[in-house]
Amino acid sequence: MIDLHTHTTASDGTDSPFALVNKALSAGITVLGLTDHDTTSGWAEAVSAARKPISLALGAEISTLTEDGISVHMLGLLFDGENSEIQAMLSDARDTRIPRMKKMVELLRSDGFAITMEDVIAATPEGATLGRPHLADALVKNGVVKSRDEAFAELLTNDSKYYVTHATPTPEVAIRTIVAAGGVAVIAHPMASRRGDVISTSIFSDLVAAGLHGIEIDHRDHTSSERTELRQVAAELNLVITGASDYHGQGKLNSLGENLTDPAQWERLESLASQRRVVTP
């Protein structure tokens, strides 16, 4: 059971890295991808929790923005965590999240919603990468909405008047940086239309030219027709196909292992990294 996309309290999940590994073990996961948003700060704790039979594919989910302003998330896996260029890119992405959040709070307040920046900070675990889920948690605590899912459905989608983007690299820059750090690049849930605007399949050729290795296809936010279309793209461009839960703990409905990556696809993806970096206890 190979689940290559999960989150912890190092970004916007509700389980600590230690707890996530334990839950993955209980769920029968054999390869766990740890991919917190724009950070590798949860790696060490996850490694300390790992024990047989689980292996860890350490990485990060990197926020990017196309030239025409569409948000794209890029999974970087198996890269060198000590690489200065990728750490600088992750740091820059985190730094832009604070002014972005302040603007979103201001927009919500201007329409009468009970929320402050202090509320959001209080809802963000210490050391976590600030994101919309923390704003959603604060809105839940203040009684504005009943759940994270409701907050995203009604207020925080990419198409919402309260959504504010933040300065991030382009997908191509992120891919090249992942590859230069020895890792593999997989575009996350690229056609999840329920999240807002999505990229056209025509962009995939440019991403492959930048070094893209795979597409996350089996994901709860992809419809059956979107999965079929993406499988055709993957076949045409000889890209690895992955599936994953995008688990966030109690913050989302996603369950560990609800979508998985085929072992043969994982073997191929791992072989494309510059060296073996899977953590095997």
187 and 261, same domain (yes or no) = yes
- Does residue 33 sit within a domain? yes
**CA distances for 253 relative to 144, 225, 257, angstroms:** 20, 22, 12
Last residue of one domain, picked from the residues 107, 127, 156: 156
CA distance 277 to 260: 20
61, part of any domain? yes
pLDDT over 80 at 68, yes or no: yes
pLDDT digits (tens, 9 = 90+) for 111-134: 999 999 999 999 999 889 899 999
Backbone angles phi, psi at 43, to 5 degrees: -60, -50
Q: What range does the domain containing 146 cover?
A: 98-156
pLDDT computed for residue 268 by the predictor = 98
pLDDT for residue 193 is more than 80? no
89 & 105 share domain: no
Percent of the chain with pLDDT over 70: 98
pLDDT for 194: 58
Query: What does the alpha-carbon distance between residue 136 and residue 144 come to, in Å, rounded to a whole number?
Result: 9
Whether 70 and 113 map to the same domain: the answer is no
Please report the pLDDT score of residue 278 as a whole number. Answer: 98
Mean pLDDT computed over 264-270: 98
Q: Which of 11-20, 68-77, 214-223 has the lowest mean pLDDT?
A: 68-77
Q: Could you tell me if 255 and 245 are in contact, meaning their C-beta atoms sit under 8 angstroms apart?
A: yes
Question: What residues pair up with 240 in beta bridges, in sequence order?
Answer: 214
**Cα 145 to Cα 141, 159, 237, 248, distances in angstroms:** 8, 18, 43, 19
Last residue of a domain, one of 132, 156, 180: 156
Average pLDDT over residues 180-208: 88
User: What pLDDT score does 195 carry?
Assistant: 62
Same-domain pairing of 60 and 82: yes
Q: Is 186 exposed, middle or buried (0-12, 13-18, 19+ CB in 10 A)?
A: buried
Q: Are residues 74 and 105 both part of a single domain?
A: no
Q: Report the candidate in 96, 72, 34, 87 with the shortest Cα–Cα distance to residue 210.
A: 72
Instruction: State the CATH number of the domain containing residue 137.
Output: 1.10.150.650
pLDDT for residue 196 is more than 70: no
Q: With respect to residue 144, please indicate whether it lies within any of the assigned structural domains.
A: yes
In a domain, 188, yes or no: yes
Can you tell me the distance from the alpha carbon of 197 to that of 120, in angstroms, rounded to the nearest whole number?
26
The token pair at 124 is 């963000």
185 domain residue, yes or no = yes
243 plus 144 within the same structural domain: no
For the segment 201-218, what is each residue's pLDDT rounded down to a tens digit?
889 999 999 999 999 999
* Separate counts of helices (H) and strands (E) for the chain: 11, 7
* Half-sphere exposure for 119 (CA within 13 Å, toward CB): 22
- The single residue listed with the structure tokens 């995203």 is 152
The pLDDT confidence band at residue 166, using thresholds 50, 70 and 90, is confident
The predicted pLDDT at position 127 comes to: 85
pLDDT in the model for residue 14: 93
Q: Confirm whether 215 is domain-assigned.
A: yes
In this structure, the strands spanning 214-218 and 2-6 are unpaired
Residues 259 and 221 both lie in one domain? yes
The pLDDT, as a whole number, for residue 262 is 98
Q: How many domains does the chain have?
A: 2
Same-domain check for residues 228 and 138: no
β-partners of residue 247 are 6
The mean pLDDT of 128-148, rounded to a whole number, is 95
| Mean of all residue pLDDT scores within the chain | 94
- Domain assignment of residue 280, yes or no: no
Q: Are 33 and 58 within one domain?
A: yes
CATH code (residue 41): 3.20.20.140
Indicate whether 164 belongs to any domain: no
The pLDDT of residue 164 is above 80: yes
Tell me the pLDDT tens digit for each residue of 96-114: 889 999 999 999 999 999 9
pLDDT at 197: 66
Q: Do 25 and 44 belong to one domain?
A: yes
Whether 40 and 150 map to the same domain: the answer is no
Whose structure tokens read 């504010």?
164
Shared-domain flag, residues 21 and 86: yes
